[in-house]
Amino acid sequence: MALQKTLEHPYFDITVPNAYWIIDEHDGIRGNEEEFEIHLNVFTSQAASTKDGIVPIYSITFNFIPSGNEEIITQIYNYAKTLPELNGAIDI
């Protein structure tokens, strides 16, 4: 699971249409069952995210408190879509 949304890069004044936002595979979820720190990496595309040596073009970190019975990954991505940076993002 991941999200797709255009990135308006805040530091380099560039726009990346349909950027690929995904939980960092190494340290993207930290914490315990009561509260997590989430780290999302942003790539130009899903294909770019799987290439060796490619680094994210941007990233965000946020805190998340789980609730309900949904799978934790689903809850994280649904919550991420409520953040200003990801308003209007779609699941991919």
The rounded distance, in Å, linking the Cα atoms of 37 and 35 is 7
Q: Are 75 and 46 in contact (CB under 8 A)?
A: no
- Per-residue pLDDT of 29-88, as tens digits, reads 998 878 999 999 999 999 999 998 889 999 999 999 998 788 989 999 999 999 999 999
pTM of the model: 0.90
- Per-residue pLDDT of 1-44, as tens digits, reads 999 999 998 888 899 999 999 999 888 999 887 899 999 999 99
Give the 3-state DSSP-derived string for 3-39, with helices as H, strands as E and coil as C: EEEEEECCCCCCEEEEEEEEECCCCCEEECCCCEEEE
pLDDT at res. 10: 83
Which residues face 3 on adjacent strands? 21, 91
Sequence letter at residue 44? T
pLDDT at res. 11: 86
